[in-house]
């Protein structure tokens, strides 16, 4: 995965009222969850970051390993969850998950279709059913995207998660989940019917 740097400042004033005041200042409340736990639940460290710092990791199709600098403390993390305002779509809150060299993480990786499918050459339409597949692996082994070769895919056929495999990665999305498929179009159906009529006429 690509790496990116983000800086933030610790916050001690918590709660909804404090968070609202922070947003008025143009800052976004954030949490980073690490190894520390209390009563079996992960303990979060609260901090804030500017929208300009967060924009580069939020509004992008890419996934990043994030080098967080929080008041001089360094943390390696990935995005865990984003919260947006239901009406304005403004970014309200960001959760990060701290990662290390030993512990595998589970994260959604973008799917990249590779090749021109036989079904598309025959007039069908490619349908991408899921944009990401969840994988589990140490963060250093996680790629920026998962290539799915669709060259041999024909009209009416699909590729499921269970048919895919990648070295060093455990796929945690259900095996029966369809990644992509080729749908019959009207033009393709008409061409097939015409071909069938021509064949019958020749006989």
Residue 50 is given by DSSP the state E
Q: Is-contact 141 1, C-beta < 8 A?
A: no
Is pLDDT larger for residue 101 or for residue 35? Answer: 101
E runs forming strands in the chain: 2-10, 27-38, 41-50, 64-70, 73-84, 91-98, 105-114, 125-128, 132-137, 146-149, 158-160, 170-171, 178-183
Average pLDDT, the chain: 86
User: pLDDT tens across 43-84, in order?
Assistant: 788 899 998 889 889 888 888 899 999 999 899 999 888 989
The pLDDT of residue 31:
92
Q: What is the mean pLDDT of residues 147-165?
A: 95
Is 90 exceeded by the pLDDT of residue 87? no
The pLDDT of residue 171:
96
User: pLDDT tens across 120-132, in order?
Assistant: 999 899 999 999 9
The pLDDT of residue 177:
96
Domains of the chain in sequence order: 2-99 (2.40.240.10), 106-193 (2.170.120.20)
Reported as half-sphere exposure (CB side, CA atoms, 13 A), residue 69 has a value of 6
User: pLDDT tens across 6-45, in order?
Assistant: 999 988 777 777 777 788 888 899 999 886 665 666 678 8
The pLDDT of residue 197:
52
Q: What is the mean pLDDT of residues 156-171?
A: 95
The pLDDT of residue 20:
79
For the chain, percent of residues with pLDDT exceeding 70: 88
Report the distance separating Cα 75 and Cα 98, nearest Å. 7
Where does the pLDDT of residue 203 fall: very low under 50, low under 70, confident under 90, or very high at 90 and above?
Answer: low
Where does the pLDDT of residue 184 fall: very low under 50, low under 70, confident under 90, or very high at 90 and above?
Answer: confident
């Amino acid at each position: 995965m690509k790496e990116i740097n983000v800086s933030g400042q610790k916050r001690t004033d918590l709660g909804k009222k404090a968070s609202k005041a922070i947003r008025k200042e143009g800052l976004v409340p954030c949490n980073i969850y690490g190894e520390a736990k209390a009563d079996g639940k992960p303990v979060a460290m609260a901090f804030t970051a500017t929208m300009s710092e967060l924009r580069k990791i939020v509004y992008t199709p890419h996934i990043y390993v994030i080098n967080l600098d929080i008041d001089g403390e360094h943390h390696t993390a990935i995005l865990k969850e984003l919260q947006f305002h239901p009406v304005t779509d403004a970014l309200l809150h960001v959760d990060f998950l701290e990662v290390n060299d030993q512990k595998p993480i589970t994260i959604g990786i973008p799917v990249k279709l590779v090749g021109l499918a036989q079904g598309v050459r025959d007039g069908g339409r490619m349908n991408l059913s899921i944009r990401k597949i969840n994988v589990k692996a140490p963060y250093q082994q996680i790629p920026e995207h998962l290539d799915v070769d669709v060259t041999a895919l024909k009209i009416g056929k699909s590729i499921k998660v269970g048919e895919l495999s990648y070295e060093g990665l455990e796929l945690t999305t259900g095996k029966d989940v369809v990644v992509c498929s080729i749908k019959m179009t009207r033009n393709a159906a008409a061409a097939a019917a015409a071909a069938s009529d021509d064949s019958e006429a020749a006989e």
